[in-house]
Amino acid sequence: MNAIFRVNDHNHSGMRVDKYIAEVARLFPRSQIKNREVHVRINNHPSKLSRHIFHGDLIEVEFQEPKTVTIKPEPVKLDIIFENGTVVVINKPQGMVVHPANGHYSGTLMQGLLFHCKDLSDLFGNEYPRPGIVHRLDKETSGILIAAKTPEALDLLADQFRKKIVRKIYLGILKGVPSPPVGKVKNRITRDPHNRKRFTISETKGKTAITHYRVIKNFYGAYSLVWLKPETGRTHQLRVHMLFLGTPILGDPLYSRKDNQFPEATLMLHSWKLSITLPGDDKPRTFRAPLPSRFKEILKCINSWSYSVDSPLRKRQG
């Protein structure tokens, strides 16, 4: 499908074209641009969606109708931390997939959300292939996740993620200790050409990824509990960045080898804290997901070891 607009109002000069499409032309929300495969021409020239428009510009928009997706609600148990009329904040357990995808068509968080919020499908309609889903966590990552109960709430929350004003803090247990103990990783991340399930660092390809980190506790150089703050949201970003530092996340099946002391450990990465402004609020709220039992068990075990000759920590270093 196609739509053509002329920018006739000087007040719209300097606006991004994707924002103009959503808020002025009102073709569809910005959150649906990727799903509709949108292509834009400005004054007969192909343009990026981030380009700024000016008075007199001719905008041509080519887009697809939303694909019809049928996803049935399921009585999936949700650990709800907070809920009001516009949002639901959930503590996602490890192993739960956020939305249906290849190989995971049942038991997802989104299907549980559809069951919990009975009118969610009607409110979002076919234009939203993933009703309510604002952001995602990897299947093996546990922790805080916010979902929207209305399209308006989804657009407001998603816009904060796009503008990188949402504060997300993760906790992780690493094999080894990053050096220096406080720092920032900034580089490019792209899909690994040798393994499509993995991502890797590249000097020329991919997108810029930035992670801030801080060591909370150093366990004799063998393990560490770390605070992680992603400034960007690339797939597997924290996992790739910790590997880049030479301290992969304990239990990571893609980016780390099985650990001798904790061979049964699963991915020790937890989305701990989220600060975001809710619809109707004028300042951010902060939500926290309690430390999961798998973290407590491993930390208790490490803390119980004394740094003696027979300590597993000493053997690991040796």
The catalytic site residues sit at: 138
Cβ-based neighbour number of residue 235 at 10 Å: 14
| Residues 112, 87 contacting (CB under 8 angstroms) | no
The CA-atom distances, in angstroms, between 99 and each of 66, 133, 136, 139 are 17, 8, 8, 10
Nearest to 211 by CA among 184, 188, 190, 180: 184
Q: CA 289, 251, 164: angle at the middle one, nearest 5?
A: 45
Cα–Cα distance measured from residue 109 to residue 85, given in angstroms and rounded to the nearest whole number: 19
DSSP 165: -
The beta strand positions in 205-283, using DSSP E, are 207-219, 223-230, 269-276
Query: What distance in Å separates the CA atoms of residue 212 and residue 241, rounded to the nearest whole number?
Result: 10
Q: E strands, the chain, where? A: 2-6, 39-42, 45-47, 58-62, 80-83, 87-92, 142-148, 167-175, 182-191, 199-202, 207-219, 223-230, 269-276, 285-288
Q: How far is CA 221 from CA 36, 175, 176, 181, 182, in A?
A: 49, 9, 6, 11, 15
CB 134 within 8 A of CB 147: yes
Return the structure tokens found at 299.
């930390």
Residue in this structure with the two tokens 């049942």, named with its chain if needed: 106
Please tell me the distance from the alpha carbon of residue 128 to that of residue 132, in angstroms, as a whole number: 8
Q: Who contacts 280 (Cβ-Cβ below 8 Å, separation ≥6)? A: 86
Structure tokens at 188: 């490019």
